[in-house]
Homo-oligomer: A and B are copies of this chain.
Amino acid sequence: MPSNPAAASIIAIGSEMLGPTRVDTNSLKITATLEDYGIALVRKSVVGDRLADLADEIRYSLAHSDVLILTGGLGPTEDDLTREALAQAFGLEMEVDESIVQRIEARFAARGWTMPVVNRRQANVFRGQTTLKNERGTAPGFHLHIERKDVWVFPGVPQELEWMLETYFGPWLQQWIGARARQRRVLKISGMTESGVEERLKPYYDAHDHEPLTILASGGQIEIHLIGDGKEEDAKAAIAGRERELLAIFGEKIFGFDGDTLESVIGRILTERRETVSVAESCTGGLVSSRITDVPGSSNYFMGGAVCYSAESKMFLAGVDPALIQQYGEVSEAVASDLAKGIRRRFHTTYGIGVTGIAGPGGGSEAKPVGTLHIDVADVHRHEHRKLFWPMTRSMFKWFSSQSALDLLRLFILRHER
């Protein structure tokens, strides 16, 4: 068993991943395998095909971790330098394995082709180290013991990599670590900023000796990741305890867990209650409806919506009173409320959502600057309104506004239990 917690690094090799269009996704599969065994990835990098740089990178990366995983650069061409770089980095000797040459020749022959001479390079292996047979392609992988650490070398072709992770790497981790160790729980918060969450967490940090929490902010919501290592039941119990504390701190601000989205949570609530919703939206341009309908089965509770980009359509689609538009303007509390009420009546739904605002970049004024948002949720008895301000790019404004509207619906339902 390694030092606790064991640290891993990944190097992806190939200049094609250093351009502006392609990312390395192989590392995600490796990371998922590592996580299953509670091994933390401390760094990952992408390097091109300069031999000296590559050898440097390999040495540097292994110095910072217990286990190093390399992918790519095992092909037959002169750009494929992973073998040479490893030999240079660690002073290893190479030799040709004729049984691999024969395997590669057989693979070509099976397609009616002759093996190109360059493919002989793929039969170069490290003397005294473990070669990993590749049943999905031509390039073998390697498992090297270097300075009492482990270096794994896999092909970059996704199918070949996946097969090797399953066949060699997973079983080795199982033996190395003992058993799957890591448990994870994600709590999702809406309607707060990252620093607002941190503020509220102070007593929690104080109570737990400043044990760190992973907090991620993106797209108008915050995730808190709870991680538990060690024996499965103990880890689960520890996470459950922390979760209870966080629920006590954040209450209804926590809208969901793990894979939940605001729209999937709303879907679950509406389905359970056999209730329905409709939407009349202006500045979000259809995004609120589109997010609601991203959820499989949403046709059971979402009846439809109106995208009211003109004043007329607010009247003829959602039944807004023209006098209100006249008096308060299209972007106003009164019109947001009338949109919510009007669309609800039109669709005979339990709830109606109304959204109006100024997405920009044009259309703002001193009294109603770009970023102004009015949202409203109504049922047959009551309605709730919120005025918000999201001064940001057009697409961000649309997203944050949809987030605010969906969250208002969620809270409206939870607060007005029937």
Residues of A within 8 A of B (CB): 15-16, 18-21, 23-25, 27-29, 31-32, 35, 40-48, 50, 53, 56-57, 60, 64, 75-79, 110-113, 116-119, 136, 159, 193-196, 198-199, 212, 214-217, 225, 279, 284-290, 292-294, 296-299, 302-310, 312-313, 316-317, 346-347, 359-363, 389, 391-396, 398
A217 proximity list for chain B (CB < 8 A): 75
A316 proximity list for chain B (CB < 8 A): 346
A136 proximity list for chain B (CB < 8 A): 392
17 examples of A-B residue contacts, CB within 8 angstroms: A16-B214, A18-B42, A20-B28, A43-B57, A75-B194, A76-B194, A76-B198, A77-B198, A79-B212, A111-B389, A116-B195, A118-B195, A279-B307, A293-B398, A299-B309, A305-B307, A306-B317
Q: Are B290 and A284 neighbours in the complex by a CB distance under 8 Å?
A: yes
A294 proximity list for chain B (CB < 8 A): 285, 394-395, 398
Q: Are B77 and A360 neighbours in the complex by a CB distance under 8 Å?
A: no
Q: Are A16 and B216 neighbours in the complex by a CB distance under 8 Å?
A: yes
A394 proximity list for chain B (CB < 8 A): 294, 296
The CA of A42 and the CA of B18, in the complex, are separated in Å by: 7
Taking the closest CB of chain B, its distance from the CB of A354, in whole angstroms, is: 14
**Residue of B whose beta carbon sits closest to that of A285:** B293
How many copies, total? 2
Most interface-central of A21, A316, A362 (chain B CB within 10 A): A21
Q: Are B20 and A23 neighbours in the complex by a CB distance under 8 Å?
A: no
Q: Which of B215, B360, B391 meets A296, CB within 8 Å?
A: B360
A79 proximity list for chain B (CB < 8 A): 212, 214-215
Q: Which of B279, B296, B359 meets A362, CB within 8 Å?
A: B296
Using A297-B362, A304-B310 as known contacts, say yes or no to A21 and B28 having CB atoms under 8 A apart: yes
Q: Are A18 and B44 neighbours in the complex by a CB distance under 8 Å?
A: yes
Q: Are A119 and B195 neighbours in the complex by a CB distance under 8 Å?
A: yes
The CA of A302 and the CA of B24, in the complex, are separated in Å by: 35
**Residue of B whose beta carbon sits closest to that of A78:** B212
Using A289-B285, A398-B294 as known contacts, say yes or no to A24 and B21 having CB atoms under 8 A apart: no
Using A285-B289, A396-B159 as known contacts, say yes or no to A45 and B45 having CB atoms under 8 A apart: yes
Q: Are A306 and B304 neighbours in the complex by a CB distance under 8 Å?
A: yes
**Residue of B whose beta carbon sits closest to that of A50:** B42
17 further interface pairs, Cβ-Cβ under 8 Å (given A44-B45, A299-B309, A306-B307): A18-B41, A20-B29, A21-B28, A21-B225, A77-B194, A77-B215, A116-B196, A118-B198, A159-B393, A285-B289, A285-B292, A287-B290, A289-B307, A293-B307, A303-B309, A303-B310, A305-B307
